[in-house]
Amino acid sequence: MTYIVTDNCIRCKYTDCVEVCPVDCFYEGENFLVIHPDECIDCGVCEPECPAEAIKPDTEPGLDHWLKVNTEFAQIWPNITSKRDPLPEAKEMDGVPGKFEKYFSPKPGQGD
């Protein structure tokens, strides 16, 4: 099992999860975070820290797409290990459906 970031992170990008990760397995895109599945130690400390409830165990049904997204972009985006402010629109975007199709950006973030 590993933890992965799902669509509710898009255009929110809270980084509370990054701060508690003991193995620094988060990677930053322009408007989204991902977890590197091969680096995640399945400790689960990140899941309750996400205000948007966007972090899920990959054992939940229907998350195959998100496992692929996390795997792909964790290999090309920069590592992020410290907490930053969420995106300005985070509160209004929390819970908006269909964010991947409408808003996902493959561009990298700034990382550490």
pLDDT tens digits, the chain, 112 residues: what are they? Answer: 899 999 999 999 999 999 999 999 999 999 999 999 999 999 999 999 999 999 999 999 999 999 999 999 999 999 999 999 999 999 999 999 999 999 999 999 999 9
Answer yes or no: is 68 within a domain: yes
The torsion angles phi and psi of 60, rounded to 5 degrees, stand at: -70, 140
Answer yes or no: is 109 within a domain: no
Domain that holds residue 34: 3-83
Measure the CA–CA gap between 33 and 109, rounded to whole angstroms.
9
CATH of the domain at 16: 3.30.70.20
Residue position matching structure tokens 């700034």: 110
pLDDT of residue 1: 83
pLDDT of residue 29: 97
Answer yes or no: is 100 within a domain: no
Give pTM, 2 decimals: 0.95
pLDDT of residue 80: 98
Answer yes or no: is 110 within a domain: no
Answer yes or no: is 107 within a domain: no
Number of domains in the chain: 1
Answer yes or no: is 98 within a domain: no
Residue 21 has, within 13 A of its CA and on its CB side, a CA count of 29
Answer yes or no: is 46 within a domain: yes
DSSP assignment of 17-52, as one string? HHHH-TT--EEEBSS-EEE-TTT-----SSGGG-TT
CA-nearest of 98, 106, 82 to 31 is 106
Query: Cα dihedral sign for 70, 74, 76, 78?
Result: positive
Q: What angle do CA 62, 63, 66 make, to 5 degrees?
A: 145
